[in-house]
Structure 1
């Protein structure tokens, strides 16, 4: 693969949605009724990570409502049964988010597939908005053998539940000064998104479950650069600005 085939768009203008979730400073706190492990988010809100088996018990007993934090295409293809579409900031936006109609004392479970980056971002925004009984599924939706919701045979629905999902990883690096911030992956001309945290050394790994062609075009948005390429190109080597 020729790395120069990528379209690299450096500079501050490339920040887009990634910058929107940064900054921190919120003092909102989750109820965390069961003392689950907390996931720190760039917004400053710590999100409780509910084990998937506990989330399923809530599902069976109608003790929680579920919100899908991914992009619209991902939600339409496969989702937890009866979950609503309520995307994280880096996954898009919608008018009339159904969660806005729920009481703030509702127990809400968010989820994604990466396994809990987008879901934690969405959960953090809900906690900050007063929905203190919000959790993110620790293992995520799964489907790649990581013990997530799909792997355990829990109820799902959607247009592509029988598709052959392949797990890809996009490795990249940026300046270590951005450690703790996020990198976003978006499919071009489709509402499909993932995010991943930047590690202390500036490296990151974005997981993607995808049933389409490796010729599909994606965009990687880091704090200091944007790179576009096919899925095959982006998974063959290390993405840099």
Structure 2
């Protein structure tokens, strides 16, 4: 009888140990998702985004080129994720089964649309090619696009969590950049009708802030995948 009880205890111990081990594995996998092809591609693509900044007295043409190169490097990084992270024929992405990154995608894509609008504005709002109606039209589109980015980021924050980690810091910094770009675009809306010189500066400043936002969201996509935020 004692022998039978000992065997029963051993079986119970093995069951408990096996369940505990499985639970620990599940917890560990929830903290560190398995390194799939999409996961690897995200870390690789967003590891070295080009961040070209303008010096204080740099020529405006050179500055604009640098900023656009930075934005284009992030756009290329996003494009390189297809098909590794594509979930449909339309090219929609699901980044490493990470809800936070999926929530960041709309803001990232919309902000690239914003940069493209401001890119167009740098041509028609510049002093040498000043076209008031075309300039103000682009500014209006940029305002709408930036407002959408801000909304997308605000919606992503609850999904990504608000803990003190790099992921949340990236998102918060991106929101600051977008707020700055909105202010610059609002100034441009006032200046571009009557002050072409000031208008030119406003547009370049808006491009700087929008590009910085693109890079911060790119950093968040990488950092939030490495250390997924805790839920709020």
TM class, shorter-length: under 0.3
**Structure with more strand by fraction:** 1
**Structure with more helix by fraction:** 2
Q: Which has the larger Rg?
A: 2
Query: Could you tell me the TM-score, scaled by structure 2's length?
Result: 0.26
